[in-house]
Amino acid sequence: MIRLLAFGLFCLIIDLSAHAQNGNYGMGARSAAIGGSSITIGDEWSLFNNIGGLANFDKKAIFTSFKNKYGISEVTSLALGATYPIAGGTAGLGVFKFGDDLYNEQRVNLGFSNQFGIVSLGLNVSYYQLSIEGSGSRKTMMIDFGGRAKLTDQLYFGAHVSNLNQAKLSTVTDERISTIMKTGLSYRPSLDLMINAEVEKIVDQDAVLKIGLEYQILEQLSLRTGFHTHPFESSFGLGFRPGKLKADYAYNNNPDLGGIHEISLGYSFGE
């Protein structure tokens, strides 16, 4: 009982600090290290961050990520994914879980993205389940839509809407999963430097500004940093690319609640 009360109090603090997991299922240490400003990035983690960018990752791959918030096991996140080039685009299957036996959110998403000239567009369909000990579980379907455009050789644009269909968790209370809208730009003056700016908006909440920078200091090593507002969190991390293997680490610091660690691994098959 004490454990349940303590966890409930912590969840309340997290919610008041705008850290509620419900509606926000972005993952990947690369994204976390640049303050979450990944809307214009076309890699395997586009399956979770902006399905419109997945067409720019035309490889068979498997990948996973583990995130721990503030050193508390009850608020960990785990994601698994796989991509496969098909029908002129790229398809992806992802699994996400947050929480423990007392409270957890699970999501399975199937996405596809295709390239149309300078624009790539994608659609994600997800099965979502929320489980709370003593209150049962709730299930629903979610739809995400996103796009990415290469405006020039140095400038990229991205936009994404998560839970486009405003999925309901309860028909009695009309409780819904948050709908999140994101848009941003990326400036890449050279092959080894990327500067991102992004705005995220949830209805009835303040807009969040995200700024990130990635610098490839060696062929296989990248350094990253960034921040986002509401609440303010600074971040840094690094990425290592030895051949077909990818390894990324990110650390986010919340001045009030502490640190968030995330580690991601991935492997690409074929050339």
Residue 185 sits in a domain whose CATH number is: 2.40.160.40
- CB 184, CB 200: distance < 8 Å: no
Which domain does 23 fall in, by range?
2-269
Q: How far apart, in whole angstroms, are the C-alpha atoms of residue 110 and residue 93?
A: 5
Q: Which two tokens stand for residue 210?
A: 């995200």
In 133-179, which ranges are E strands? 136-150, 155-162
Query: What does 229-244 look like in DSSP terms, one character per residue?
Result: TTTTEEEEEEEE--TT
| pLDDT tens, position by position, 158-180 | 999 999 999 988 766 778 899 99
Rg (CA), the chain: 18
Q: Give yes or no for residue 8 having a pLDDT over 60.
A: no
> Which pLDDT value is given to residue 271?
67
| pLDDT tens, position by position, 77-114 | 999 999 999 999 999 999 999 999 899 999 999 999 99
Distances (CA, A) of 122 to 45, 46, 188, 235: 13, 10, 23, 28
Total domains in the chain come to: 1
pTM equals 0.90
